[in-house]
């Protein structure tokens, strides 16, 4: 990958192009022996504008090839002001992308569905040129983000929406041939609802609905990203339930990711009925900073996702990523009683760590990113509340970086197994026993080596086992110069 080695924040084991803005993963599909991963991309700068679909593919989730830009806005066309989000399906030798066609003169919140077809394994796409679903149902105040899947001998499609009566919704369509679509009604719709006791809500509208159908006696999951017309905190929610006719009946909403920096995740149905998820991890620093660095946004690791026997969504890094483990960095085992921290060893700026922690009180791991110990990312267990806390309040001495501490449920009365993947400015924490995950971005300013410590509150007894490996960079083959940029000029 043509990374700028002097940029300390650019991840090396997470997908993103060398420069410019990215947001949502799009068009995720296994086709012609490859995982295809497209993404919202502004080829002209590091802010959200001129949305195209960038495109990577990989046979194994490890070595990637950047293909030419898949979708570009057509001047004067239905998508003249952006090819917004959507997915793609594999149908024989056809790869068909469905996406949200943006024209600001149509409406800022309505992006009707259009499509584009590739017959050369995703190297080039022929846009349909006209809308697939020309009008949205009456009463939609927001409408975008198609998700198409095969269901027996028919195709089905969800589109995200906000309804005039205040509900967020996923609208259901059906097609025999991917060309003509019939609207069937609301697949699911809910008034804005709290998500557990997180302080977050399901939103006025649902962006990027994704669907993992029920199978083998396990319920299905509808995932969507909460959209609010007047901004406010955004979260990603899963509803777990079953299809009854053309309606999805589900239980209460649950968070898909407990951190602040994972939005608009998308699903890919991989061979052997395996489901993968990538999210968009946006910047948690002032925009001027990322603009001056020339890039913004990264995709999360690919995660295997399933609905557990207990009806909760479970995620873990795709097994293939174990091959990115390089040199052993830390192998530490011991018991401490506090309050002095225990040094566990040094790590690079990209590492993959597993830990088992057994504690009688507040305790955890600290990633020191400055030699004097003033800058650190904390991961601690709060036995009193039964939560794992990831605290970035001291993770950057630069006040243009966001702080905050974030929690996910974690029963600490038993040994806690976690996996932490840190890649320069992104940290993803997976709880092995529950399958819950928390993603955040952080921007350490120290240029010295990083170290890991075990921390305990006074009189707390901590038993720890920690193993960490340096993380190898993904191999990304960039496109040739003539295919790296879209034709034409930004709109």
**What's CA 149's distance to the chain center, in Å?**
20
279 or 338: CB nearest ligand FRU:
279
**Residue 85 or 118 having the CB closest to ligand FRU:** 85
The residue (of 207 and 283) whose beta carbon lies closer to ligand FRU is: 207
In the DSSP assignment, the letter for residue 273 is G
Rounded Cα distance between 416 and 408, Å, is: 13
Q: CA 316 to CA 308: how far, in whole Å?
A: 12
Nearer residue to ligand FRU within complex by CB, 98 or 181: 98
| Nearest approach, Cβ of residue 78 and ligand FRU (Å) | 14
Q: How far is the CB of 208 from ligand FRU (least distance, A)?
A: 6
Beta bridge partners of 422: 351, 427
**Least distance between ligand FRU and beta carbon 488 (Å):** 19
Q: Provide the minimum distance between the beta carbon of 402 and ligand FRU in the complex, in angstroms, as a whole number.
A: 18
Among 10, 31, 52, 144, binds ligand FRU (CB under 6 A): 144
Residue 253 or 297 having the CB closest to ligand FRU: 297
Is there binding between residue 85 and ligand FRU (CB under 6 A)?
yes
Question: At a CB cut-off of 8 Å and minimum separation 6, what does 399 contact?
Answer: none
Under 8 Å between Cβ of 232 and 252: no
Q: Identify which of residues 40 and 396 has a Cβ nearer to ligand FRU in the complex.
A: 40
Interacting residues of 393 by C-beta distance below 8 A, sequence separation 6+: 403, 404, 405
Q: Does 84 participate in binding ligand FRU (rule CB under 6 A)?
A: yes
Restricted to residues 413-452, the positions that interact with ligand FRU (CB under 6 A) are none
Using rule CB under 6 A, residue 281 touches ligand FRU:
no
320-359 residues in contact with ligand FRU (CB under 6 A) are: none
Residue 357 tokens read as: 């922690």
Q: Least CB distance from residue 440 to ligand FRU, whole Å?
A: 17
**In the complex with ligand FRU, which residue's Cβ is closer, 161 or 357?**
161
Alpha-carbon gap, residue 444 to 367, rounded angstroms: 10
Determine the length of the chain: 491
* CB-based contact 324:352 (threshold 8 Å): yes
Residue 145 Cβ vs ligand FRU, minimum distance, rounded to whole Å = 5
Residue (79 or 391) nearer to ligand FRU, CB: 79
- Which residues in 134-167 are b (16+ Cβ under 10 Å) and which e? eebeeebbbbbbbbbbeeeeebbbbbbbbbeeeb
24 binds ligand FRU (CB under 6 A): yes
Does 145 sit near ligand FRU (CB under 6 A)?
Answer: yes
Rounded alpha-carbon distances, angstroms, from residue 398 to 282, 285, 401, 446? 18, 9, 6, 10
Residues 150-189 as x/- pattern, contact with ligand FRU by CB under 6 A? ----------------------------------------
- Cβ closer to ligand FRU: 24 or 188? 24
DSSP string, 410-443: ---SS-EEEEEEEETTEEEEEETTT--EEEEE--
Q: How far apart are the first and last CA of the chain?
A: 28
Give residues with Cβ within 8 angstroms of 142, minimum separation 6: 109, 110, 160, 161, 162, 204, 205, 227, 229
Q: Binding marks (x or -) toward ligand FRU, 199..238, rule CB under 6 A? A: --------xx------------------------------
Query: Which residue among 37, 51, 284, 344 contacts ligand FRU (CB under 6 A)?
Result: 51
Q: Which residues bind ligand FRU (CB under 6 A)?
A: 23-24, 40, 51, 84-85, 100, 144-145, 207-208, 263-264
């Amino acid at each position: 990958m043509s990374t700028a080695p002097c940029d300390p924040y650019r991840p090396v084991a997470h997908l993103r192009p060398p420069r410019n803005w990215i947001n949502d993963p799009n068009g995720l599909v296994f086709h012609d022996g490859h995982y295809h991963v497209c993404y919202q991309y502004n080829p002209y700068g590091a802010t959200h504008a001129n949305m195209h679909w960038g495109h990577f593919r990989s046979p194994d989730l490890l070595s990637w090839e950047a293909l030419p830009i898949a979708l570009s806005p057509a001047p004067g066309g239905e998508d003249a002001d952006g090819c917004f989000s959507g997915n793609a399906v594999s149908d024989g030798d056809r790869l068909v992308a469905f996406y949200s066609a943006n024209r600001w003169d149509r409406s800022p919140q309505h992006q009707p569905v259009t499509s584009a077809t590739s017959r050369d394994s995703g190297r080039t796409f022929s846009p349909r040129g006209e809308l697939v679903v020309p009008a949205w149902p009456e009463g939609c105040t927001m409408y975008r983000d198609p998700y198409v899947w095969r269901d027996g001998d028919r195709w089905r499609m969800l589109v995200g929406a906000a309804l005039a009566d205040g509900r967020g919704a996923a609208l259901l369509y059906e097609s025999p041939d991917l060309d003509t679509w019939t609207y069937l009604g609301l697949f699911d719709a809910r008034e804005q609802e709290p998500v557990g006791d997180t302080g977050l809500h399901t939103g006025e509208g649902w962006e990027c609905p994704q669907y993992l159908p029920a199978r083998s006696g396990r319920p299905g999951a509808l995932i969507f990203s909460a959209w609010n017309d007047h901004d406010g905190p955004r979260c990603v929610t899963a509803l777990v339930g079953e299809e009854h006719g053309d309606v999805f009946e589900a239980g209460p909403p649950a968070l898909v990711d407990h951190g602040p920096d994972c939005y608009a995740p998308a699903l890919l149905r991989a061979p052997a009925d395996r489901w993968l998820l990538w999210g968009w991890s946006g910047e948690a620093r002032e925009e001027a900073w990322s603009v001056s660095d020339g890039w913004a946004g990264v995709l999360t690791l690919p995660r295997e996702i399933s609905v557990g026997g207990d009806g909760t969504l479970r995620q873990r890094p795709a097994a293939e990523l174990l091959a990115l483990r390089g040199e052993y960095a830390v192998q530490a085992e011991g018991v401490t009683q506090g309050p002095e921290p225990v040094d566990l060893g040094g790590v690079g700026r990209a590492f993959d760590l597993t830990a088992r922690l057994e504690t009688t009180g507040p305790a955890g791991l600290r990633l020191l990113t400055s030699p004097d110990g003033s800058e650190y990312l904390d991961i601690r267990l709060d036995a009193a509340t039964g939560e794992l806390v990831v605290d970035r309040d001291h993770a950057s001495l630069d006040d243009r970086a966001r702080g905050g501490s974030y929690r996910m449920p974690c029963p600490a009365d038993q040994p806690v197994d976690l996996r932490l993947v840190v890649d320069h400015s992104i940290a993803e924490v997976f709880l092995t026993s529950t399958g819950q995950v928390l993603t955040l971005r952080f921007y350490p300013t120290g240029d010295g080596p990083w170290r890991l410590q075990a921390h305990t509150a006074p009189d707390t007894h901590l038993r720890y086992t920690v193993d960490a490996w340096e993380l190898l960079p993904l191999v990304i083959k960039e496109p040739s110069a003539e295919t790296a940029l879209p034709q034409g000029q930004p709109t």
